[in-house]
């Protein structure tokens, strides 16, 4: 199955600064890469996803980039706000597989 590594495990940023989380995956045939945000005790919520035929996708202050050659994808959050504080998980799906393989998560803390 797919192996996904996520870095860093914790990230503290000043409000208004940018946050970047990077994930690498093992199988070059993976074709779908979602990002989930999970607040304490709540469900993971999809915030953005990208498919292998696209290099970058943006949604307001959030963007995801994909480098298929290097087999890594990154989440970028600009102009961070206190409500961005949460655990963020990346995931990948191998093209012929049914399940998502998740990274270990990044705890993001935005300091006011």
Q: How far is the CB of 88 from another protein (least distance, A)?
A: 11
User: For the chain, how are helix, strand and coil distributed in percent, rounded to 5?
Assistant: 5, 60, 40
Footprint of another protein on residues 40-79 (CB under 8 A)? 41-46, 49, 51
Q: State the Cα–Cα distance between residues 58 and 49, nearest whole angstrom.
A: 10
Contact 77, 61 (CB under 8 A): yes
Residue 98 contacts another protein per CB under 8 A: yes
How many residues in the shown chain lie near another protein by CB under 8 A?
Answer: 26
Q: How far is the CB of 110 from another protein (least distance, A)?
A: 20
Q: How far is the CB of 42 from another protein (least distance, A)?
A: 7
Task: Say how far residue 47 (Cα) sits from the centre of its chain.
Answer: 9
Give the residue, chosen from 26, 31, 78, 109, that forms a contact with another protein under the rule CB under 8 A.
31
82: three-class secondary structure by DSSP: helix
């Amino acid at each position: 199955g797919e192996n996904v590594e996520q870095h860093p495990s914790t990230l503290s940023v000043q409000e208004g600064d940018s946050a970047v989380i990077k994930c690498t995956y093992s199988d070059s045939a993976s074709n779908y890469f979602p990002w989930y945000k999970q607040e304490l005790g709540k469900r993971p919520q999809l915030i953005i996803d990208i498919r292998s035929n696209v290099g970058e996708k943006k949604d307001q202050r959030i963007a995801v980039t994909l480098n298929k050659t290097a087999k890594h994808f990154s989440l970028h959050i600009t102009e961070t706000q206190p409500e961005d504080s949460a655990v963020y998980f990346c995931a990948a799906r191998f093209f012929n597989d049914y399940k998502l393989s998740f990274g270990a998560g990044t705890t993001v803390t935005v300091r006011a």
